[in-house]
Amino acid sequence: MQKLLRSLFVICIGCCCFLSAYMPLLFHRPTSIKTLNIFTWGDFFPEEIFQKFTQIHHIKLNVTYYASNEELIAKLEKTGGRGYDIIFPSDYAIPILQKKNLLAPLDKNHLYFLAHLDPLLLNHSFDPGNQFSLPYAWEVYGFLHNSPRTPSWKNLFEDQLFIVMVEDPIEAICFTIHYLYGHNTILSNEQKKQIIHTLRDQKKRVKAYTNYMSHHFLSSHTPFLSIIRSSSFFKNIHQIQRHPNAKFELPKGPVFISIENVAISKECAFLDAAYKFINLIYQPEIMAKQINAFPLFPSIPYCLKWSNISSLDEYCQLLHTMQFHSYIFFNSRSLSEEEVKKLWIMIKS
């Protein structure tokens, strides 16, 4: 009997030791995924989207913001991509980031929305086959004006009009290249000099360089022409409509569009969490919340069923028109970063 009790005592002691060692592993929630780092445009996503992701997946998000693609590129290059998991670069930034080996190729087996993406936005030269990026939202550049005729690129550079020009040097240079040479991305030194001369000559008529405040100049009642993004027009449409002669129209001929893409940093620490986040933001109801917050066009068109902006006729008409537009171009960095900075200083000084 004593031997039996002694054996039971030893077994109990052994069980207690086992449980004390392994109980934390049995009942403690895994902590290998603590934080997913999102690097995105300011005001691009409403906060409720981030909160929803955390509620569903119990993964904390660290969200930081940038104001330009140049800032995004510089920060990823400085850190090698460490500390940034998911990013939202514009189209022309994709090949720059990929060339610097800062992007991870996408594993599309983990993405469940690909069949619903707008074909207009896929397989372009900045990322053939969408190996490193997928379109999330996009917009088109058009002319805000008060003229009875539809403007062309020629009017932006030749007519004696009150001009509001974009403040982004990449955009300004691309529009000038298109006006002078067509869609040329390889420039000679003489062509670079001509670009500087053209933008300097235009500057005599430029009242402001801005991407978002063009509508404030409509009250001047003078002949007016501004190149703006469609999101800026829709964001300020009620103020613009106070001016009876004001119009937003696409230029004659080719148009430029800008796509904001989702991509994964080469140094992403938690790929499983990254794909969970990407799949969530492509859900139609979630994408609709993003479009409500910032009036871009969605990469999954049927999400507009859940969006407030679908009631805006001008928005729906322009989106429909773009689905049948034959000639679209993208901005590209045709000059080196140093050349762009030097050229822009020369123009604006």
- For the stretch 234-282, pLDDT in tens is 999 999 989 888 999 998 888 999 999 999 999 999 999 999 999 999 9
The residue behind tokens 């000099």 is: 193
Please tell me which residue, 327 or 61, carries the higher pLDDT value.
Answer: 61
Report the pLDDT averaged over residues 20-37.
Answer: 54
Q: Which CATH number fits domain 140-256+330-348: 3.40.50.10800, 3.90.700.10, 3.40.190.10, 3.40.50.300?
A: 3.40.190.10
Region of poorest pLDDT, from 12-16, 117-121, 180-184: 12-16
- For the stretch 92-150, pLDDT in tens is 999 999 999 999 999 999 999 999 999 999 999 999 999 999 999 999 999 999 888 88
DSSP SS3 for 133: coil
Radius of gyration of the chain (CA): 26
Residue 162: predicted pLDDT: 86
Q: Do domains 35-138+259-311 and 140-256+330-348 have the same CATH topology?
A: yes
Separation of alpha carbons 151 and 63, rounded Å: 41
> Would you mind telling me the total number of residues written for the chain in this entry?
349
344 pLDDT band (50/70/90 cuts)? confident
Q: What proportion of the chain, given as a percentage, has pLDDT over 90?
A: 66
Separation of alpha carbons 172 and 335, rounded Å: 12
Neighbours of 308 (CB within 10 A): 12
Q: For 35-138+259-311, which CATH superfamily applies?
A: Periplasmic binding protein-like II (3.40.190.10)
Cβ burial, residue 251 (10 Å; 0-12/13-18/19+): buried
Domain extent listing, the chain: 35-138+259-311, 140-256+330-348
Alpha helices in the chain (DSSP H): 2-27, 47-57, 69-79, 93-99, 153-158, 169-181, 189-203, 230-235, 237-240, 271-281, 284-293, 313-322, 337-348
Strand residue runs (E) in 81-231: 86-87, 103-104, 134-145, 162-165, 206-209, 224-229
Q: Name the residue among 221, 212, 165, 189 with its Cα closest to residue 179.
A: 165
Structure tokens at 29: 């929630």
294 pLDDT more than 80: yes
